[in-house]
A and B are shown apart, each in its own frame.
Chain A
């Protein structure tokens, strides 16, 4: 049996239903947490008038960035012609849509007035990068949906390459837009740089691929379908390159800032004496999220070990989360430079490093978003033919 065949996974096992119910519960708790925050007001969250974006935004940006990155797996086959990735394309598109849906759910549920979502969908200020993002996100659903159709319907396969190329370009624009949400903020020292857009793109490559590998390996393990080392090791190497590329962008971001005297204070805050942010940067983002996964991927002792790869992927996700936390929360915690060179104080905490302790509600909402993503994937792979019945080496290499 050398031909590539797709098939929905068996949805009858108790394990599958347990997973479904578990994810459903986490998603429901997330939605209820958001409802509680809306009824009581954001006063019950850890966010305040100094740290206006908190944990929900960290989760939302994390999932949105991962969404565009998860689509890369499909793009590698259709845009860059690497046919061994072709069997992975359908799941890539499904995961991309599911991640974006999870991320947007968190973002929308955290709004002060989520009931006014219809206003956001119908009233646009086209100068706002946020408004562009609303269009980019809805466009992403439509384009990736069409791309998925092209991959799954034999009659539509002739459009697959064009749809893949268009989806790839769209996802690059989308992540540029996400990075620019921060890059366009001239008022805050940690933002206000065009570096954020390409850095977000590279982060999406790493986080999206790590997410994809975890979902893929788990799906094959749990559905007891074969998956060979050929494709796994390809992805392992690719992940290594993406992790190194993210670290390169992080280095350039900080070195560029360090060159300009006006940014020395914010760099000192992030890299030396920023408390939790400094610790997150060195220990979680760089060490756990960068150096350790690289070692797990490239060290001869762990090179072919799937558990090590899974561990590397999980660490990339944790490191990516820390990276986004430092950007979003750390960027706000550092005092705004209203009077450069002066010491400022007020009843509104001007001139002070702002404190932020995430509340349980925010964290539950964030995990709710991840659960929505995984729920969509779990249901998707059981009702449509997203997963190849085998990813054994002979199947993967056959397509070559």
Chain B
């Protein structure tokens, strides 16, 4: 039923009227029915999603495209819980002021010099649909998963750092030192390049969220929404549809998986 509804939604309004020839009353009735059944089924579906991890042998599918939406207006200037959560999740813990330690996510302050208006926002790998890092990687170690997550294959990265030169978001870090106390869920490699992996460990475990989004909710800001950009019913898609969302450096045509509201 839901599938039919999606197909139906793809038709333009005039096409719908001509091809269906249905009267408005009938359409309202069907719409109501779909809505009611959706409401009835949704909690079960949600429960099923959160409870199920993707089996290891099951390939990642492009039916979903994971993304994040950052509502800059809700991002508190003095809060960096997302950064701390990311560091804890992936075992990063950069030293303050270090130019060589990895930072997968950072808080940016963006100030308009003409008005003095300043905003605070998290910046991380934007998980582009057309990622420059993937284009330039000589060995293909930088790659994009079918579900839109941009990753580095730690087995084939030769540490040339060309991806760091190419990334327009300064989102990548090079591991400059021998690593200690690595976390089993987030393997890293000395001499390799790394960046935000959209908590692929959590996604593949069926958590369907990221450490930063979780931490932001926990802090009560709800500034980061994680979800499936391909699903028009997902929270992220409905928010984007209702209020829009900007891409940083949209002029580069990269179609980022991370979008910002309130910039």
Contacts and interface: CB of A to CB of B under 8 A. Distances in A.
A112 B139 contact: no
Nearest to B173: A49
Interface stretch (A1-9, A150-158, A181-189): A181-189
Size bin of chain B's contact surface:
35 or more
Contacts of A187: 132, 166-168, 249, 252
A11 to B, nearest CB: 38
Nearest to B114: A341
B248 A48 contact: no
B136 A338 contact: no
Given A53-B161, A130-B162, A339-B248, A346 B177 contact: no
B178 interface: yes
Interface string A101-134: 0000000000111101101100111011111001
Given A128-B136, A347-B107, A120 B165 contact: no
Contact of A49 (B99, B140, B178): B99
A229 interface: no
Interface in B100-147: 100-103, 106-113, 123, 132, 134-140
A332 to B, nearest CB: 7
Contact of B110 (A120, A130, A134, A342): A342
Contact of B191 (A41, A48, A130): A41
A111 B170 contact: no
Nearest to B142: A125
A59 to B, nearest CB: 16
A116 B164 CA distance: 19
B173 A346 contact: no
Contacts of A393: none
Interface stretch (B8-16, B32-40, B152-160): B152-160
B158 A113 contact: yes
Given A111-B158, A112-B191, A128-B137, A336 B107 contact: no
A218 interface: no
Nearest to A125: B140
Contacts of B174: 42, 49, 52, 112
Contacts of B107: 346-347
B131 to A, nearest CB: 11
Contacts of A336: 168, 170
Contacts of B159: 111-113, 116
Contact of B113 (A114, A332, A343, A350): A343
A interface SS class: loop
Contacts of A38: 191
B interface SS class: loop
A128 B162 contact: yes
A130 B134 CA distance: 12
A120 B170 contact: no
B138 A52 contact: no
A114 B248 CA distance: 34
A129 to B, nearest CB: 7
A390 interface: no
Given A128-B135, A185-B166, A48 B109 contact: no
A342 B138 contact: no
A113 B161 CA distance: 11
Q: Which of A49, A52, A53, A339 has the most CB of B within 10 A?
A: A49
A120 B109 contact: no
A130 B100 contact: no
Given A41-B175, A48-B176, A346-B108, A116 B132 contact: no
Contacts of A125: 134, 137-140
A345 interface: yes
B92 to A, nearest CB: 12
B27 interface: no
B192 interface: yes
Given A49-B99, A343-B113, A124 B178 contact: no
Contacts of A339: 110, 248
A127 B159 CA distance: 18
Nearest to B156: A119
Contacts of B6: none
16 contacts: A41-B175, A43-B177, A49-B102, A50-B170, A112-B157, A112-B175, A112-B191, A123-B140, A124-B140, A125-B134, A130-B162, A184-B136, A188-B165, A344-B111, A346-B123, A350-B123
Given A120-B139, A350-B170, 13 more contacts: A41-B176, A42-B191, A49-B101, A49-B102, A112-B190, A112-B192, A128-B137, A128-B162, A185-B166, A343-B110, A343-B112, A344-B109, A345-B111
